[in-house]
Amino acid sequence: MKFSDYLDSIENTEQEQQLKEQILIIRDDVKPAMNMPIIGKLLCSLVALGESETIEEFKYSGHYDNIKDWDIHVFDLEKGYFSIYPGAKHRKVIAKFLLGVCAGLFIFWLYRKCRRNCLR
């Protein structure tokens, strides 16, 4: 489920408070990773969600744009079991990048093969 859809579904419910409490529990554990390039933005956005008063307030912050396209799977929110992973938008970017790398390697392989055959 997209993170933005999940936030819409739990807004103004008991689960909203549970999610925010679980995020605040892990806040100190994730501080060292907040300086990493991609994951750092996600973690900063999660901490901002935990520290915000309501989800509605969080949606108007700049952090919401960093996290809205990610996917979330909630196993057991009371125990803090939830998982955030790249959404469809991110997977498309990763697929295009990998396709470009594979195409580049293939072209390099063809070049070397052609060069070897031309030198014989």
Asked if pLDDT for residue 32 goes beyond 90, the answer is: no
d(CA 66, CA 38): 10
CA dihedral 48→54→56→58, nearest 10 degrees, is -10
Strand partners, 53: none
In the chain, % of residues over pLDDT 70: 98
**Predicted TM-score (pTM) of this structure:** 0.73
Burial of 110 (0-12, 13-18, 19+ CB in 10 A): exposed
- Does residue 80 come out as left (phi exceeding 0), alpha (psi in the -120 to 50 range) or beta? left
pLDDT value for 69: 87
pLDDT value for 73: 85
